[in-house]
C-alpha cells in the first residue's frame, strides 16, 4: 500500500478537515490544497482550515488566482468532536497549531517532532525541505496526474519554504522541483513572488533595522507590534544576510504574547529548532528545523514586556555561545 492508501483507510468518513498551522504560509496552503485534490479523487471531500489570519499579499494572490477555498476555524460553526482532522505542515501540541474540536487522526509534516502523539496515520519527514514535496510524491507514486493548478501551488510552496532551493533541501525536494517546473504555471509563480512585499511592510523593516542588537554572532531585531508571522520570518531571513551573523531572532509584540522567527546559518552548526525550544522552556513554546524555527512567549503578569524580552535574549545568547 502507498502512503495515500494508508491514509484513506484510516479516514473512514466521507468528509474530513485538513488543518494547517496557525497563520499559514504558501507551503501549508499548497500542501493542504494538493491533499484535498488527492482525497477528492478517492471519494472523500474535505475542508481546508486554519487559525489566525492570512494577510500576506503573495499568499492572498496565490489563493485567489488558484481558486483555493480555505476557512478560518472560527468561521466553521458545524465543526464537532466527531469530525476527523488531518494535520498538514503542522503537529498537535506545537505552539503554532491550534487544538480545534475534532479527532486528529493523521499528520503529514516535515517539521521535527517535539511532542509524541499517537495518530492513526503519520508521515513526518524532518529531512524534507517542504511539506509540498511530500504531497507531490503522493501524486507520483499513485500515478495520479498533476494538473497545472495543483503543480503551480506545490511548486510555489517548495520555492518559499526552501528559500529558492537554498535551505534544507533534500533529494526529494530536488526531484519534485524538477518535475513540477515543467508542469507549473511559472508566470503565476513569478506574479506571486513579485507580491511578497507590500508598502506597509517597509515600516516593519524600518523598525527592525533601528532596533538591531548584535551580541557576538547573534542578532536580535524587533519589528514592532502586530507584525504578520510571514513578515517576521522574511525579516529574519533578511537579518541573516548581514556580515558575521550566524543566528537571528526577530520578534514582534502580538496579541497575547511575543511571536518570534529564528534562523541559523548552515556553516554555524547551530540548531535553531533545538536552541529556541531550550531558550523558551517554561516561558513559552518553540521549535522547528535545524536552520529555521519559530517561537511564542505569552505575556506574564508578573513581568513587564521588557523583562520578558531580556530573559529570552539572555537565554539565546548563552545557548549560542555554548
Q: How far is CA 74 from CA 63, 94, 101, 109, 214, in A?
A: 19, 19, 11, 23, 40
User: CA 303 to CA 164: how far, in whole Å?
Assistant: 41
* Regions of the chain with pLDDT less than 70: 195
* CATH code assigned to 201-321: 3.10.310.40
Check residue 302 and give its pLDDT: 79
Check residue 182 and give its pLDDT: 92
Does the fold of domain 201-321 match that of domain 3-194?
Answer: no
DSSP conformational letter for 256? T
Q: Express each pLDDT in 55-69 by its tens digit.
A: 888 899 999 999 999
Candidates 3.40.50.300, 3.90.1640.10, 3.30.460.20, 3.30.930.10; CATH matching 3-194 = 3.90.1640.10
Grid cell, residue 61, equals 494572490
With contact defined as beta carbons under 8 Å apart, do 149 and 66 qualify?
A: yes
User: CA 208 to CA 163: how far, in whole Å?
Assistant: 21
User: CA 153 to CA 277: how far, in whole Å?
Assistant: 31
Domain boundaries, the chain: 3-194, 201-321
Q: How far is CA 6 from CA 2, 106, 122, in A?
A: 6, 10, 10
Burial of 80 (0-12, 13-18, 19+ CB in 10 A): exposed
Amino acid at each position: 500500500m502507498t502512503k495515500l492508501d494508508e491514509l484513506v483507510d484510516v479516514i473512514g468518513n466521507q468528509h474530513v478537515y485538513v488543518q494547517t498551522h496557525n497563520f499559514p504560509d504558501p507551503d501549508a496552503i499548497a500542501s493542504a490544497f494538493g491533499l484535498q485534490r488527492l482525497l477528492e479523487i478517492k471519494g472523500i471531500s474535505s475542508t481546508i482550515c486554519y487559525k489566525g489570519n492570512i494577510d500576506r499579499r503573495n499568499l492572498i494572490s496565490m489563493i485567489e488566482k488558484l481558486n483555493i477555498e480555505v476557512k478560518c476555524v472560527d468561521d466553521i460553526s458545524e465543526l464537532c468532536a466527531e469530525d476527523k482532522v488531518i494535520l498538514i505542515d503542522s503537529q498537535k501540541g506545537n505552539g503554532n497549531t491550534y487544538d480545534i474540536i475534532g479527532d486528529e487522526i493523521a499528520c503529514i509534516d516535515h517539521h521535527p517532532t517535539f511532542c509524541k502523539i499517537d495518530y492513526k496515520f503519520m508521515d513526518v519527514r524532518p529531512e524534507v525541505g517542504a511539506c509540498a514535496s511530500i504531497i507531490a510524491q503522493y501524486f507520483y507514486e499513485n500515478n495520479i496526474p498533476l494538473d497545472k493548478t495543483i503543480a503551480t501551488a506545490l511548486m510555489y510552496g517548495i520555492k518559499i519554504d526552501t528559500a529558492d532551493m537554498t535551505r534544507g533541501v533534500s533529494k526529494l525536494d530536488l526531484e519534485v522541483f524538477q518535475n513540477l517546473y515543467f508542469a507549473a504555471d511559472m508566470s503565476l509563480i513569478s506574479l506571486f513572488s513579485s507580491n511578497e512585499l507590500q508598502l506597509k511592510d517597509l515600516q516593519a523593516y524600518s523598525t527592525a533595522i533601528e532596533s538591531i542588537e548584535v551580541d557576538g554572532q547573534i542578532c536580535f531585531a524587533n519589528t514592532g507590534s502586530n507584525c504578520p508571522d510571514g513578515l517576521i520570518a522574511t525579516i529574519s531571513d533578511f537579518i541573516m544576510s548581514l556580515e558575521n551573523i550566524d543566528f537571528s531572532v526577530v520578534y514582534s509584540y502580538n496579541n497575547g504574547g511575543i511571536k518570534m522567527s529564528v534562523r541559523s546559518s548552515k556553516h554555524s552548526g547551530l540548531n535553531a529548532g533545538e536552541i529556541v525550544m531550550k531558550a523558551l522552556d517554561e516561558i513559552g513554546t518553540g521549535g522547528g528545523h535545524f536552520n529555521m524555527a519559530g517561537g511564542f512567549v505569552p505575556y506574564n503578569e508578573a513581568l513587564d514586556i521588557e523583562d520578558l524580552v531580556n530573559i529570552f535574549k539572555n537565554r539565546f545568547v548563552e545557548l549560542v555561545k555554548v
